[in-house]
Chain A
């Protein structure tokens, strides 16, 4: 019960530094999302509007990274299956590309609505297969994927107005698309929607650890009665991807993934006349000035690096803090970290879920060990990780230097490297001192500084006083080793058509 305040205690200081307690006084009960993901035990390839087994009958297992249990057996496509897919796409191209734009738009609207209808089911499937928190797949991945179909559905019959001063001559043909495991369904939408709106046909290869929502989406393609062959889904690992890239019928390759694989694809397509867009890695700088609203900046920094366990190509993995406020910022970050909830991705209260694969977890651990060896100071909040599955606690490194590997290499995990700067110019210099150039963040109360930095930072996206914001109308893509080409907006459309 309340007690009367002790007046004499006003100026009294407790002997130890005041601390906040983030304990278990009010422990939340588990709150798992219960919608049925409607997964099948076996998935085949989706070629020419039909589900067909791989020619050689090979399969691989897709597991749930949260508990390492098998989810489904997925067909493993080889060159011959990829050839079938390209043949189907080539057969479908003449009719699909000549279809009036308004008709193609109807299909896209239908896909968007069907995805919305089954949003919960897809969200659970996405979380089971990829390990991301249900909160994110429910509130971000699935609605955003639907939004991309809606947006591009609108463009389908207005392509001649999309590029003032130019005219759309024709779509490219059959497009080979290879997508990553961090946003399986969303990346599918980013790739399919503009390709279909502009009249191309597609051979799509999802990542081997996260094929299931793409195959579930193929069911939606059937339900929407999309003409056979317009979209074909071939599943498998690197070999399958290489076959998709190498196939002579591909008019264009669109790839999202690592810079390393991006290089291989660039080599493979050099001199073939194939158009190419690459959306690759990043090591984004989040620049925090001393006049920034600190609590909101800290929240944005947390969102920037721990969103989707840091499996985000544009993750704000380098925090550049003005030296005068570094202690305060680090104190707030560590405090905020303690109320992040790590654990079962299906639990609606989970903030940080499972790492996508054992392989990725090993890579994160390796780079974190390097960081410690290089002399950076590691902080991880006390948190109990589930015994089974791939998990890594949210991690901060302070005292990181530009020359440290954890400041230069993409970790693609929940690891934030904190560096300091003194002046605006130094911040710009450090932010641009990287092989990548996908995104950056600026936190300041000063509007003119935002404008200056947004022009001087060599990054495809610069967020000001926010981070990780996406919209189908806003083009996304990188500079330097983060790739080229844009996705979303009119810029994204332009990469799928020939203009005059």
Chain B
């Protein structure tokens, strides 16, 4: 069995092609040298706001905390009366047990979608039936999107078929909800493995679904490098099949400058059609206020203290 699996891995890798680590990191370093000024900066910042999946994934989450998150998500900027036109964020991201609370807070027709992590997030170490039941429960409670984790154990053991079949099963359980497949890049470690896992997911997904870097629950999260490898995979898959899959880096993106750099990677790799929250998201909890702070700086020419923004976690 093990020999068969090794062969499967090698064949798959050969088919999708390897990734050179040094080359990827050199490529993404160039994005950081782009200089985004004035109108372009305002556009980029607003675009980033509209792409945020405002997230709370904690054991101590309550309906009160989720209600606060939802209010902030709908109207991120409380100064928005003067036509600055700051859009709502794309979605709130919560545990399945909080989906109903989020739906109550947002109402039935909110522009802000409800994403729920499911499938025994973050480890995924539960029987498939349990994971699928969790997905159905979240969708039933009103989730528009499901963020699943792949079976990293099966992946690292070389059992690709199982990884893929589980993704298909979750996809079917999602029904009309969009699916985001979390690869948990830090547990895959190599860019070769990230590219391979990307394709395993991409080939099972529907237009409007996403692949996503990480859970945010491990030491290393989204980086420009793994973002790039996944964008490259999305591009290759799109050009080969015509199926456009979205991308969501998650965890570790805290500053507006980082977010703009990720967006430049999108612009230069996938082009204009991916510069929308239907195809690109940021999974983040503290990014939003830094985006607002930068927007406010562009508007007034001065930086405001963090406590001037609602829901600030770093007030002083």
Contacts and interface: CB of A to CB of B under 8 A. Distances in A.
Interface stretch (A22-30, A44-52, A84-92, A208-216): A22-30
A293 interface: yes
A20 B271 contact: yes
Given A5-B206, A26-B40, A14 B23 contact: no
B242 A13 contact: yes
Contacts of A29: 36-41
Chain B CB within 10 A, most for which of A14, A29, A297: A29
Q: Is the interface of A mostly helix, strand, loop or mixed?
A: loop
A25 B275 contact: yes
A22 B19 contact: no
B232 A10 contact: no
B268 interface: yes
Interface in A260-302: 291-297, 299-300
A357 B145 CA distance: 57
Contacts of A1: 111, 277-278
B23 A297 contact: yes
Contact of A22 (B238, B239, B263, B271): B271
A10 B178 contact: no
Contacts of B90: 2
A331 B244 CA distance: 18
A382 to B, nearest CB: 13
Given A9-B207, A296-B19, A299-B27, A27 B273 contact: no
B40 A295 contact: no
Contacts of A21: 271-273
Interface string B74-112: 000000000000000011000000000000000000010
Interface string A488-500: 0000000000000
Nearest to A20: B271
B144 interface: yes
Contacts of B47: 26
Contacts of A9: 206-207, 243
B169 to A, nearest CB: 14
A417 interface: no
A26 B275 CA distance: 8
A9 to B, nearest CB: 5
Interface in A80-139: 135, 139
A339 interface: yes
Contacts of A27: 40
A342 to B, nearest CB: 14
B178 A5 contact: yes
Nearest to A1: B111
A27 B179 CA distance: 31
A283 B165 CA distance: 51
B210 to A, nearest CB: 10
B261 to A, nearest CB: 13
Contact of B18 (A14, A291, A466): A291
Contacts of B159: none
Interface in A312-362: 331, 339, 348-349
A18 interface: yes
Interface in B1-50: 17-20, 22-24, 26-27, 33-41, 43-44, 47
Contacts of B244: 18
A53 B26 CA distance: 46
A373 interface: no
A465 interface: yes
A4 interface: yes
Contact of A349 (B23, B34, B278): B34
Interface of A: 1-7, 9-10, 12-14, 17-18, 20-31, 135, 139, 291-297, 299-300, 331, 339, 348-349, 445, 465-466
10 contacts: A2-B145, A2-B277, A5-B178, A10-B243, A17-B242, A18-B238, A20-B273, A22-B268, A26-B272, A296-B26
Given A27-B40, A339-B269, A348-B34, 17 more contacts: A2-B113, A2-B145, A2-B208, A6-B206, A6-B208, A9-B243, A18-B239, A18-B242, A25-B275, A26-B43, A26-B275, A29-B39, A29-B41, A296-B23, A348-B35, A465-B22, A466-B23
Q: Which 10 A-B pairs have the closest CB atoms?
A: A296-B23, A5-B208, A31-B35, A348-B35, A296-B20, A293-B20, A25-B272, A20-B271, A339-B268, A5-B206
